[in-house]
Amino acid sequence: MTAWEVIRWWELRRMLYNAVLLALGIASIYAMDIFAQHVAPAAQPNAPELETGLTVVMYGFMANVCYTLGWIVELVGRRKDKGTARTRARKNFLLGFWFSCLLTSAPVGLGLAFWLTHRSH
CB 68 within 8 A of CB 7: no
Q: For residue 22, what are the domain limits?
A: 3-118
pLDDT at 48: 60
Write the single-letter amino acid at 42: A
CB 70 within 8 A of CB 96: yes
Rounded distance between C-alpha atoms, residue 97 and residue 18, angstroms: 10
As to burial, measured by CB atoms within 10 angstroms (0-12 exposed, 13-18 middle, 19+ buried), residue 89 is buried
Per the rule left: phi > 0, alpha: psi between -120 and 50, beta: everything else, 4 is alpha
Instruction: Give how many domains the chain has, as a whole number.
Output: 1
pLDDT tens sequence for the chain (121 residues): 899 999 999 999 999 999 999 999 988 888 887 777 766 655 455 556 656 778 888 999 999 999 999 999 999 999 988 888 889 999 999 999 999 999 999 888 887 887 788 776 5
pLDDT at 68: 95
pLDDT at 93: 94
pLDDT at 43: 47
pLDDT at 9: 95
DSSP state string for 21-40: HHHHHHHHHHHHHHHHHHHS
Q: How far is CA 60 from CA 24, 44, 115, in A?
A: 12, 28, 26
